Structure 1
Amino acid sequence: MGFAGAMVVAMATDALLGWPDRLFARIDHPVVWIGKAIAALDAYANRESDSPATRRSAGLAAALIVIMLAAAAGWAMQRLMPSGLRGAVLSGILAWPFVAFRSLYDHVAAVRDPLRSANVEAARKAVSMIVGRDPDTLDEAGIARAAIESLAENASDGIVAPIFWGVLFGLPGIVGYKAVNTLDSMIGHRSPRHEAFGWAAARIDDAANFVPARLTGFLFALLAGNERSQAMACMQKDARQHRSINAGWPEAAMAGALGIRLCGPRSYNGAMANEPWLNGSARDPAAVDITRGLELYVGAMFALAVVLAVIALV
């Protein structure tokens, strides 16, 4: 079955189980382990007294250390795997924690449910768990927009990208990618502390997500039914306007598929960011569009699993 079969096992296991709270309480989560290593290197090597050039070099070294250690751990585990079906199943179970299929669905549905009941405060609290913008500034359309954008972007970062690298390189690929993604989320943002130190982490993440982001966008467009051509056109027209070289592809495809506008101005820490609209002439989203987005997401991930299963069997 090979690596493709192992990734199908990982997706199926996560869809069925997620990451159980009892298991999390006992051993944390492998991504938490990676995060602790990143935090330790950040505290040790990111010195404010150093020059920006020195901090940039230190950040590059820290990123490479974390990625290589993570990939090496994956390689060591893969070396222990038997061949054939049993090896693919065991590899898939080991890859399972690095696929966020179910948790992404649950987090976005947690925004949809109170919004559908007109409980705006609860919806704001839920959306604050998955986006960095100021939740108090969001009306119902802003909450729905944030949830759908997070769904589209994290479908790429949390499922398609790790699966992509897992299919190519097995456990070293999926574990190494998760290290890349965790580095970006922890130190890859433009804050005074991480502008220089996290520069390499952000650039590596951009490279690692370049192909998966576009694959995710095309998956959304292909599964958009009667809106397929609109989704494809919106992606081709608007994806490059996004501030991220990658996130615009799945977000624009989702916007076109649902017939809504995404992105646009938003507030971070009290400061307005005038982001361009994706599918700007369309209407604002509502709670029902989160449901439609979740349905498209599930359909696209199921289609990905079917393709991988066919590859594994052939």
Structure 2
Amino acid sequence: NESINLHDFVIPIIQYSVNPNNEDHIYILEDALDLWLAVIENSIECTAGLFALVPSAISFLEFGTENLKKVLKILESYVILVPDMVVQSYCHPIMNNLTQLLGDLKPEACRAIVHLLDVIFQACHFSSLGESMVSSGLLGKLIDSMVNKNEDYSYVLVNYMSLLARLVLIDPEFIVNFVTIAGQQQGPIYNGKHLLNVILEIWLDKFDNIGHPKQRKLNAMAFATLISTTNPIILGYLAMFVAIWGDVLSEVKESGGGDALVYWQEDISTEVGTDGIDDTPETKRKRALLQRDPIHTTNLTQFIRLKLGECETLNGGTHIFNQVDRSLLDQLNELMKC
């Protein structure tokens, strides 16, 4: 509340300092961005004046400036504070600008963009995002960046894979339909294979490059989500999915609710912590967002079992699993009993 009382004083200062038409702005911009971020982090609501600054943050994306990481953090803070307002007012320009930046920056900057997108996908209703993701070219560029991978950027590729996993978890039908249509438009690529084949093969081939248990679980859940289908291309990779589920289930001992301490030990999670000491309003918002994340709320064993059952029902019986090596199925069954 005290923070909001200062908005009338602080926001005009930020407004002046980030205005490129002011000659002085290049000298005070960095400090102004720090102040701007601190104001959002300590706000319990988004006043009209604070929200009116959003277009300035978006405009900085267009230039890909040296302050890009701070600008991305500012936009993330807005998304966590007022996700619906941000999407309703600025979804398309944000997606447009992030699409332009994606893949054309150093790995750390690409990772920061992927992180912002991941937060957007978690915090906002996907029904409000899908059209902008397609029309801005964002989804197409994400797929293209995975397919035309550069071996020097395997670190970035892993982040793209996890972003795709997040999207599959939210709306698998939307993603598979998009890839199928894009594949039909392109025709066979890479030794006569279609786009969906190519994406799945790259995704599976590079899975072991994913180091953090949290991201490994996210991708494993995406693979489980995909098998709830009769699509022969997806089901052709069933044996590889089973092998990955076996690996992931053997790595982490989850609680009954699906959480584990190791899932909290990464970027945003480390930053948020779990002890509640000296929390800013934003820290509480971030923790609440994390606690709704399926990674923390879904028991992987139960989830895989559910999706295997759906796959069996959709495909008319257990014969669909005949393509999977018996020893792999036995190993998975043993792990799911534990």
TM-score of the aligned structures, taking structure 1 as reference length: 0.27
Higher RCO structure (Cα 8 Å, ≥6 apart): 1
With normalisation by structure 2, the TM-score equals 0.26
